[in-house]
Amino acid sequence: RRLGVARARRARTCYQCGTCASSCPVAKITSRFNPREIMLLSLRAEKDELISGDAIWLCCSCFNCQERCPQKVEIADCIYALRNIAFKEGYIPNIYSDFASALLNDGRIVGVSKFVEKKRPTLGLPPLQPTGVDALKKILSATGFDKLQQKTEEAQ
């Protein structure tokens, strides 16, 4: 239901042909990710299994599954919706939580290392300054992202 009525209606047209899985570069290298299985679990309303596992986080967002689906099921969009549900319910891999914390603190998802900070002046480069952090924090606060991230950090 949380996936949206139109998307849910379209998802129900999935007849498990496997075109999505055979088109997926991630599924080719790991058995931990299979878009066909994600759609099957979605159709069975196995929400807890979907959001508590790591499969939904392995999608590389290439949209091959969605482009090649004969039923035009929005598979990648469903995976994004499942990620949002997982995040809201506190299921998020630590690496994404770390990225979110860095984004809230510095405006970057990858911090600047001490080595880089020390090396920049020797290359004639100025120190890196956080840019746009205030505007970013306003956006993240307006969307509720900061509260969700705080909740996630407390749960870990």
Number of domains, the chain? 2
pLDDT score recorded for residue 141: 83
Give yes or no: residues 83 and 103 share one domain: no
In terms of residue numbers, what domain contains 109?
Answer: 94-155
Residue 151, judged by CB atoms within 10 A of its CB (0-12, 13-18, 19+), counts as middle
Give yes or no: residues 104 and 139 share one domain: yes
CATH number of the domain at 56, please: 1.10.1060.10
Give yes or no: residues 30 and 78 share one domain: yes
Give yes or no: residues 10 and 71 share one domain: yes
Give yes or no: residues 70 and 100 share one domain: no
Query: Model confidence over 48-97: pLDDT tens digits?
Result: 999 999 999 999 999 999 999 999 999 999 999 999 889 888 888 888 87
pLDDT score recorded for residue 119: 95
